[in-house]
Amino acid sequence: MSRKLILATLLLTAPVLPAAAQQGPQQRALMQACGADYQAHCANTPRGEGRILACLRQHSAQLSQPCRDALSRLPSR
């Protein structure tokens, strides 16, 4: 993978769930699985204190199956 492609991917996905970038594989999987769902349903949600995860969970009926699967693997807050 080229450096430009890697950089572009990071720039596009990093804003989705910034804390997830510093976390483990589950959080990175969530970023990858839920990026489009985040943009569609939670982009205006203020970051911090679990608000984005809460927003995604509130919209669970509208989320893609990969995003729902990734959310189900995270511990509940």
Q: Quick one: pLDDT at residue 36?
A: 94
pLDDT digit string, tens, across residues 14-68: 554 445 445 677 778 888 999 999 999 999 999 889 899 999 999 999 999 999 9
Q: Quick one: pLDDT at residue 29?
A: 82
Which tokens go with 14? 């990093």
SS (H, E, C) 21-71: HHCCHHHHHHHHHHHHHHHHHCCCCCCCCCHHHHHHHHCHHHCCHHHHHHH
Q: Quick one: pLDDT at residue 24?
A: 74
Where do we find the tokens 């990093």?
14
The domain ranges of the chain are: 3-72
Q: Which residue has the higher pLDDT, 2 or 33?
A: 33
Does the pLDDT value for residue 3 go beyond 80? no
Query: Can you give the length of the chain in residues?
Result: 77
Across 69-76, average pLDDT: 84
